[in-house]
Chain A
């Protein structure tokens, strides 16, 4: 059902501190904790002794101790200690590869050798970008979130008070492939900036009364990364190619991590190229995004319920859905390739 040989964001780095964190990824119950050096460990959430979830226990040095009878499992998934027992030959639990980058913890749930080169590049690991974000637990298929982000036509209806504007409906989208990426883009010329972008222009010292060129370039990479180039520049400055001081340019970053077939964790955020180091701006954008994505959350959870209520119906695929269609194709190709082995 899910491609397993890939990196998924399982948690933000600050979610895992002293106590273990239980989290299901691709229908696999996992537990995260930090060893004595602060390194992230990710194990199958199952005690090889009596099957209790290890996440009920506590961290002891480098090991995770089961909260039921005290069996300790090491970072490699091997039982390491239990009072009065010879643990050397006890069965192990799965240990999953993890990587911490840009404030996120990535996990590789599959059995193939993890490929470090495939960890998504995060713009804010570079000094010229600033980042703020958050996360939601959403009761909907993660593919519905991919559809949502690869078709920003919905902004006009779901987010009418912040980033929606009528020109979105008037400007056709184009979908294309760019190597491993599926790209859906829309360019609007000489339009009035919507409220979110007026605020950003103000923060960047741009005149908010000018008409702007606005762009939305959604990029999807299977299985679960979406980076959306967004921004506005006063008309005549070159749009997306305008010099940094003449545009407000952001990258909406989205990681949709499947929990089950009908739920996912959504890690959202925005990298921006203006007001670097200004924490107030970061928090203001975070609040704005939180509000906008809460609107999506409500639609998606109700869409999921509706889809379950009408299992005999089919979905309509329109030109605005081409990005989602291509994205789902890439996902399916990954799943098929793993099944073929």
Chain B
């Protein structure tokens, strides 16, 4: 039941913009807050009536403060949109007690796989593991600058971090993950699915973030078949966003690769598929793409 969502009353005392459309919040209380195990999350009740879950960043060190980080997502009911536009310093927000089963297991050899905003629960878990004197490797996968690069650089365990920027180096090769210990992973469903297929069940611990298809990536061009116009899609925009900004009336609905509304025929060029709508065979045929999240490589010609 949702009965615990009003257990805590927290005040926003700090709001910091981070790279990649992420905002980090310090939520504090005048009375000591319950301790939590690294990996836990809290539910926030937003002013719009919505309830959304966010992982707590770091460990339970400061008894008066929780930290969360929120990435701006396409609106369905507008949770992250409201947080980004309206949750400002000084505001009060209702929250649940920390909860969740994502936590360290007892093991000698550990690997963390943090993708995008999925880094949030893993930072504290690595802190805990480091404090107990155990070795580990921490993979931090992002597209471009990471929201938590600044924080990780200052960690005493910074030498355990393997940074991977897929803008510069392409998709991360999961076969790099060697060893026999536990893997703790958090990130988009596509990554967790791939890990689940590769890693034996008893060794993999995952926290799924819903609706977080990665839409940004390398810059590319779209040539419109109808009039030959060429639209540049910069790194931080999806193909759909770039088209809309150019005043082109492209159809869309979910903006997260599940509804198929924006699927368009591709007449030429190579596609980096990111959607959950097209089948594997359809994706392999390289002749259509979901504009809201998939990207082209170099230049693609689209039937618009």
Q: Which residues of A contact B (CB under 8 A)?
A: 174-177, 261, 308, 311-312, 314-319, 321-322, 325, 328, 332, 336, 339
Contacts and interface: CB of A to CB of B under 8 A. Distances in A.
Interface of B: 2, 43, 45, 48-53, 75-79, 81, 85, 210-211, 249, 251-255, 258-261
Contacts of A177: 249
Contact of B51 (A176, A311, A321, A336): A311
A319 B258 CA distance: 10
A322 B252 contact: yes
Nearest to A324: B253
B75 A328 contact: yes
A312 B2 contact: yes
Given A311-B45, A328-B75, A318 B2 contact: no
Contact of B253 (A312, A321, A332): A321
A317 B255 contact: yes
Given A174-B251, A311-B49, A317-B254, 15 more contacts: A176-B249, A261-B48, A308-B49, A312-B43, A312-B52, A314-B211, A316-B76, A317-B255, A317-B259, A318-B253, A318-B254, A318-B261, A322-B252, A328-B75, A336-B85
Nearest to A323: B253
Contacts of B45: 311
Nearest to A262: B49
Contacts of A315: 76-77
A322 B75 CA distance: 13
A175 B250 CA distance: 9
Given A312-B43, A328-B75, A336-B85, A317 B49 contact: no
B210 A317 contact: no
A311 B6 CA distance: 13
Residue of A261, A311, A316, A332 most packed against chain B (CB within 10 A): A311
Given A311-B49, A312-B51, A322 B2 contact: no
Contacts of B252: 322, 325
A261 B33 CA distance: 32
B194 to A, nearest CB: 24
A174 B252 CA distance: 10
B253 A322 contact: yes
Nearest to B247: A177
A261 B46 CA distance: 14
Contacts of B254: 316-318, 325
A325 B258 CA distance: 14
Contacts of A328: 75
Contacts of A314: 76-77, 79, 210-211
25 contacts: A174-B251, A175-B251, A311-B2, A311-B49, A312-B43, A312-B52, A314-B76, A314-B77, A314-B210, A314-B211, A316-B76, A316-B259, A317-B76, A317-B255, A317-B259, A318-B254, A319-B251, A319-B253, A321-B253, A322-B251, A322-B253, A322-B261, A332-B75, A332-B78, A332-B81
Contact of A319 (B52, B77, B79, B260): B260
Contacts of B81: 332
Contacts of B52: 312
Contacts of A308: 49
B303 to A, nearest CB: 15
B23 to A, nearest CB: 17
A175 B258 CA distance: 17
Nearest to A328: B75
Nearest to A178: B249
Contacts of A312: 2, 43, 50-53
Nearest to B81: A332
Contacts of B2: 311-312
A318 B255 CA distance: 10
B213 to A, nearest CB: 13
B89 to A, nearest CB: 17
Residue of A321, A325, A332 most packed against chain B (CB within 10 A): A325
A261 B82 CA distance: 15
A316 B77 contact: no
Residue of B53, B252, B253 most packed against chain A (CB within 10 A): B253
Nearest to B74: A317
Contacts of B43: 312
B253 A325 contact: yes
Q: Which 6 A-B pairs have the closest CB atoms?
A: A319-B261, A317-B254, A312-B51, A311-B51, A317-B253, A322-B253
A10 B259 CA distance: 37
Contacts of A322: 251-253, 261
Contact of A176 (B78, B251, B258, B259): B251
Contacts of B53: 312
B235 to A, nearest CB: 23
A140 to B, nearest CB: 13
Contact of A311 (B50, B76, B253): B50
Contacts of B48: 261
Residue of A176, A308, A314, A316 most packed against chain B (CB within 10 A): A314
A319 B259 contact: yes
A319 B250 CA distance: 12
B65 to A, nearest CB: 24
B259 A318 contact: yes
A220 B85 CA distance: 25
A148 to B, nearest CB: 16
A151 to B, nearest CB: 10
Contacts of B85: 336, 339
A308 B51 CA distance: 10
A294 to B, nearest CB: 26
B260 to A, nearest CB: 6
